Amino acid sequence: MHYMKWIYPRRLRNQMILMAILMVIVPTLTIGYIVETEGRSAVLSGK
C-alpha cells in the first residue's frame, strides 16, 4: 500500500506535465498552420 501511495502522485504529475505540454503545443501548431494557410492564400490572391 505504501508503494502505491508513492507511485500514484508521480503518475499524476507526469499526466499533468503531459497535458500542459499538449496545451502549449496544440495551439501553437494550430496558429502556425492558420497563419501559413492565410499567408499562402494572400500570396495566391495577390498574384
Q: Going residue by residue through the chain (47 aa), what tens digit of pLDDT does each one get?
A: 566 666 667 888 899 999 999 999 999 999 999 999 998 888 878 76
Name the residue with cell 496544440. 26
Which string of b and e fits 4-38 if b means at least 16 CB within 10 Å? eeeeeeeeeeeeeeeeeeeeeeeeeeeeeeeeeee
Helix H or strand E segment including 20: helix 2-46
Q: How far apart are CA 47 and CA 43, in angstroms?
A: 6
pLDDT value at position 1? Answer: 53
**Overall size of the chain counted in residues:** 47
pLDDT value at position 4? Answer: 62
pLDDT value at position 32? Answer: 94
Q: Cell numbers of 14, please?
A: 507526469
pLDDT value at position 35? Answer: 93
pLDDT value at position 2? Answer: 64
